[in-house]
């Protein structure tokens, strides 16, 4: 649930109109690295996040980006008030004006409308957070570029604030990667295995199910879904949780599939299960 | 990645991979003495080892130095350590907002920023106490603002009429200053 508050996060008070600048700044409203995409990216990525601090982070930052969207809209709105025909033509604002008049439409500076293809939701903690780190840097560069192009101090004051927020968000998005990966059984999974794999395998009923999912001499089909630091073992057919949560066994006692990338020569010569 | 182990008798060579391998050799090698402090799948970060192929952002230390709420709003962050502007010489020209609004914006900003910090530092008791303190001050600031300038929230009970609808809205000229 979202509740609107009738104020901006940071004051926007633009003294002089400047449609040319407005046509550039609209990119942070609906461009590829704009605030609309940022908020939708974070608010959509929340659902598949496994840890509470990640759910909180994406909710908080996604919500703050909606506030930034409002600030960008306010800048563009105030830069384009009281325009006359000559202003529009002289300032190169006519291409935007013909479609949107002085309304605020989510489009990039080059004119193409906002596109969900400029954001990503992968459903994977590492992929999504890495995307978010990149997204914050891309937004930061866009603000840098606006500061390079704009000489309106009223606009730059707000842009400077928004740019500073991208830096803080980058820091916050980076911190959970560290807390969550430090101290993990990092030898256990090869890189592609780590975030999400499903292994079809046969279980040895003689071995406690929590100790070794891959073991020689197995019976019965199970699926092991390994995500991050725990794994769930399912029946292949029913896909119900069989044992949960399952802690990864100690690295060097595990099965051949973890020897990918190992330097031990005998592992390289070992035939892989097919 | 899918692996189906169909054979009841797995190859004997697979069995070998369960045996401990290599690390003793690495530790005894004087040439790689510095590397030996990290396992083969780890790399060096300043002062520590960490799994390779993952991005690392240093964790901000607990109870970091802070600006006061007014300066934080002007700089865009509460933390001097994260204050990394495009050009240092770009001076902030904080628009002359009315006192009640700029005070409330500063308090709310400090609340947002500390709340974000607490998401990744939930055990920092100092910051949590400050956060709650700002929230208390924010309530007071909100009350003062609404007395002077009308409701911030649609559910405010306003005497006489439904003042929520009154201009200016935040994007209007003079709406937020």
- pTM for the whole structure: 0.73
Mean pLDDT of the B41-55 span: 81
Residue B147's domain comprises 69-165
Test B119 with A172 for CB contact under 8 angstroms. Answer: yes
Alpha helices in A150-269 (DSSP H): 153-181, 191-195, 265-269
Residue of B nearest to A73 (CA): B171
Q: Do B59 and A178 touch (CB under 8 A)?
A: yes
The set of long-range contacts for B134-137, using a CB threshold of 8 Å and a minimum separation of 24, is B134/B69, B134/B107, B134/B110, B135/B111, B137/B107
Tell whether B36 lies on the interface with A, counting CB pairs under 8 A. no
Partner A contacted by B123 (CB < 8 A): no
Residues 96-115 of B with CB under 8 A from A: 97, 101-102, 104-105, 108-109, 112-113, 115
Q: What is the mean pLDDT of chain B?
A: 79
Closest residue to B120, CB basis, from A6, A9, A176: A176
| Assigned domain for B20 exists | no
Flag whether B172 is in a domain. no
Q: What is the pLDDT of residues A138-149, one digit of tens each?
A: 999 999 999 999
Block residue for tokens 């530790």: B27
Sequence length of chain A is 274
Instruction: Work out the mean pLDDT of chain A and round it to a whole number.
Output: 75
CB contact under 8 A, A174 and B57: yes
Give chain B's end-to-end CA distance (angstroms, integer): 57
3-state SS, one letter per residue, for B30-65: HHHCCHHHCCCCEEEECCEEEECCCCCCCCCCCCCC
Q: What's the pLDDT at B130?
A: 97
Residue B124, helix vs strand vs coil = coil
Say how many CB pairs under 8 Å bridge A and B. 230
Q: Domain for residue B49, yes or no? A: no
Q: What is the pLDDT of residues A86-137, one digit of tens each?
A: 888 888 899 999 999 999 999 999 999 999 999 999 998 888 999 999 999 9
User: Can you say whether residue A216 is alpha, beta or left, with left for phi > 0 and alpha for psi between -120 and 50 degrees?
Assistant: beta
Which tops the pLDDT comparison, B18 or A31?
Answer: A31
Does residue B106 lie within any of the structural domains? yes
What's the gap in Å between the CA of A76 and the closest CA on chain B? 10
Other CB atoms within 10 Å distance of the CB of residue A235: 14
Give the ipTM of the model, two decimals please: 0.78
In a domain, B21, yes or no: no
pLDDT over threshold 90, residue A270: no
Hey, where are the domains in chain A? 19-181, 191-250
User: Which residues, 6+ apart, have CB-to-CB distance to B168 below 8 Å?
Assistant: B174, B175, B176
Range from A98-107, B8-17, B163-172 carrying the lowest mean pLDDT: B8-17
Closest residue in chain B to residue A9, using alpha carbons only: B105
Nearest residue on chain B to A190, judged by CA atoms?
A: B41
Residue B131 lies in a domain: yes
Q: Give dist(CA A147, CA A163) in Å, integer.
A: 10
* B95 located within any domain: yes
A11 to B1: CB separation less than 8 angstroms, yes or no: no
Instruction: Write down the pLDDT at residue B50.
Output: 79
CA distance A39 to A136: 11
Number of domains in chain B: 1
Q: Which carries the bigger pLDDT value, residue A225 or residue A56?
A: A56
B85 in contact with chain A, both atoms CB, cutoff 8 A: yes
Higher-confidence residue of B163 and A222: namely B163
Q: Give the number of other Cβ atoms within 10 Å of residue A121's Cβ.
A: 18
The first and second tokens of residue A169, run together, are 């968000």
Q: C-alpha angle A79/A81/A86, rounded to 5°? A: 95
| Nearest residue in chain B measured CA to CA from A224 | B2
In chain B, which residues have their Cβ closer than 8 Å to the Cβ of A167?
A: 76-77, 82, 84
- The superfamily (CATH) of domain A19-181 is Ferritin, core subunit, four-helix bundle (1.20.1260.10)
Q: Phi/psi of residue A231, each to 5°?
A: -135, 150
Interface contact A17, partner B, CB < 8 A: no
The Cα B87–Cα A150 span in angstroms is: 14
Q: How confident is the model at residue A269 (pLDDT cuts 50, 70, 90)?
A: very low
Is residue B41 one of the residues assigned to a domain? no
Cβ–Cβ of A164/B75 closer than 8 Å? Answer: yes
Is B25 at the interface with chain A, CB within 8 A?
no
CB atoms within 10 A of CB A271: 11
Residue B109, pLDDT score = 97
Interchain proximity A57–B119, CB inside 8 Å: yes
Structure tokens that stand for A82 in this block: 């009281």
Furthest CA-CA distance within chain A: 85
């Amino acid at each position: 649930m979202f509740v609107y508050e009738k104020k901006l996060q940071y004051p926007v008070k633009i003294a002089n109109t400047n449609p040319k600048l407005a046509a550039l700044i609209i990119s942070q409203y609906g461009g590829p690295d704009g605030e609309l995409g940022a908020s939708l990216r974070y608010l959509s990525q929340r659902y598949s996040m496994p840890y509470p601090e990640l759910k909180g982070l994406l909710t908080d930052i996604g919500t703050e980006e909606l506030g930034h969207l409002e600030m960008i809209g306010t800048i563009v709105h105030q830069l384009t008030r009281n325009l006359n025909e000559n202003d529009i033509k002289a300032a190169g604002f006519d291409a935007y004006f013909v479609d949107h008049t002085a309304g605020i439409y989510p489009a990039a500076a080059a004119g193409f409308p906002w596109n969900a293809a400029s954001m990503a939701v992968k459903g994977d903690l590492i992929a999504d957070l890495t995307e978010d780190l990149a997204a914050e840097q891309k937004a930061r560069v866009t603000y840098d570029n606006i500061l390079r192009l704009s000489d309106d101090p009223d606009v730059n004051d707000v842009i400077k604030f928004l740019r500073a927020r991208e830096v803080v968000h980058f820091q916050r998005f980076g911190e959970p990667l560290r807390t969550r990966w430090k101290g993990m059984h990092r030898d256990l999974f090869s890189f592609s295995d780590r975030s999400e794999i499903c292994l079809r395998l046969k279980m040895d009923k003689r071995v406690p199910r929590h100790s070794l999912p891959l073991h020689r001499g197995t019976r019965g089909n199970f699926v092991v879904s390994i995500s991050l630091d725990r794994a769930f073992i399912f029946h292949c057919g029913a896909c119900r949780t069989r044992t949960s949560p399952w802690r990864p066994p100690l690295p060097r006692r595990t099965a051949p599939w973890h020897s990918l990338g190992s330097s031990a020569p005998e592992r390289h010569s070992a035939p892989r299960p097919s | 990645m899918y692996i189906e182990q169909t054979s009841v008798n797995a190859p004997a060579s697979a069995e070998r991979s369960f045996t401990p391998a290599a690390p003793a050799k690495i530790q005894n090698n004087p040439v790689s003495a510095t590397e030996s402090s990290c396992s083969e799948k780890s790399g060096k970060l300043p002062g520590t080892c960490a799994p390779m192929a993952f991005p690392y952002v240093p964790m901000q230390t607990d109870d970091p130095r802070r600006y006061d709420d007014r300066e934080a709003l002007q700089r865009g962050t509460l933390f001097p350590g994260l204050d990394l502007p495009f050009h240092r010489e770009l001076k902030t020209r904080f628009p002359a907002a009315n006192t009640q609004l700029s005070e409330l914006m500063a308090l709310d900003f400090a609340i947002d920023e500390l709340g974000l910090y607490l998401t990744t530092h939930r055990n920092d008791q100092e910051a949590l106490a400050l956060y709650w303190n700002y929230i208390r001050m924010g309530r007071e600031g909100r009350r003062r603002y609404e007395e002077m300038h009308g409701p911030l929230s649609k559910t405010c009970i306003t005497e006489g009429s439904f003042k929520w609808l009154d201009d200016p809205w935040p994007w209007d000229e003079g709406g937020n200053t």
